[in-house]
Amino acid sequence: MKLIIHGGFFSESSTNLETKKAKQDALAEIVTLGHQYLKNHTALETVVYTVALLEDNELFNAGIGSQIQSDGKVRLSAALMDGKTEKFSGVINVEDVRHPVELSLKLMDYDDRVLSGAGAQNFARKNGFDFFNPITAQRQQEYQAKLNQQNNKGTVGCVALDKDGNIAAATSTGGKGFEIPCRVSDSATVAGNYANQFAGISCTGVGEDIVSGALAAKIVTRVTDGFSLKDAADKSFKELKAFDGFAGVVGITAGGEIYHCDSHPYMVWASFDVNLQVFS
């Protein structure tokens, strides 16, 4: 049983050491809780549980504390993929929902498994997801001041390998801040979140770069074709250099290989294999 999570990027020039440590401490706690949960649950259940914990922590750009778009609204995107069934589900630009990753799980049982905007919100209300405003006081202040958000590139994500050898991946984001309303990120696409029976990947970074590189699906496909996870990721990241792609990934293979890499420092992440690891 293995678990790896990420909390997106932060800029060392604009983020103090106290904030960095707070993020690392939060990741350590969440990955430990997730690994404990994994002992008695499937990989699919675990990635939803773990990403929901990340969505509930305002240190990260997902769920509570998400970035505000240029029209003053928060729109959330999340996705889920079950490596066993190879089913993908997700929501794009949904408003007023606390846990978009849980809404993605609800969609897994439907034929129409990726919903956006008002359709996603209506589906949420019909399925018992109550109104929730994810804007924190800090995010509102940042929006009012129109701060430069270019150093706040990030999402949250989780990849899990359960005791039966099944893999699942989940990713959630609050966007990049001040973007054109309803801009679509990578998180609810197979570029940003992908899993099959061989490997699972969750991405963070600049969504447009991740989509251009088809990153998550490309890495998993290469593992499926016989690459190690490290070699698959490293080769895929070399291909991002053609357009200076900004990205980070965490992943696990069915054989238990666990790996992370990023094109620009500093991605924060944590894993739990035999021991807890937290790094940035």
Residue 259's domain spans which residues?
Answer: 2-279
Confidence (pLDDT) at 247: 95
Name the active-site residue from 46, 155, 173, 189.
155
Reply yes or no on whether the pLDDT at 15 is more than 70: no
Confidence (pLDDT) at 210: 97
What is the pTM (predicted TM-score) of this model? 0.91
pLDDT 10s digits, 216-234 = 999 999 999 999 999 999 9
pLDDT 10s digits, 32-79 = 999 999 999 999 999 999 999 999 999 999 999 898 998 889 999 999
pLDDT 10s digits, 86-136 = 999 999 999 999 999 999 999 999 999 999 999 999 999 999 999 999 988
Contact 4, 203 (CB under 8 A): no
Decide if 155 is catalytic. Answer: yes
- Give dist(CA 112, CA 88) in Å, integer: 10
CATH number at residue 223: 3.60.20.30
Confidence (pLDDT) at 279: 66
Q: How many domains does the chain have?
A: 1
Q: How confident is the model at residue 173 (pLDDT cuts 50, 70, 90)?
A: very high
Confidence (pLDDT) at 150: 45
275: its two tokens: 């021991």
Q: What is the mean pLDDT of the chain?
A: 92
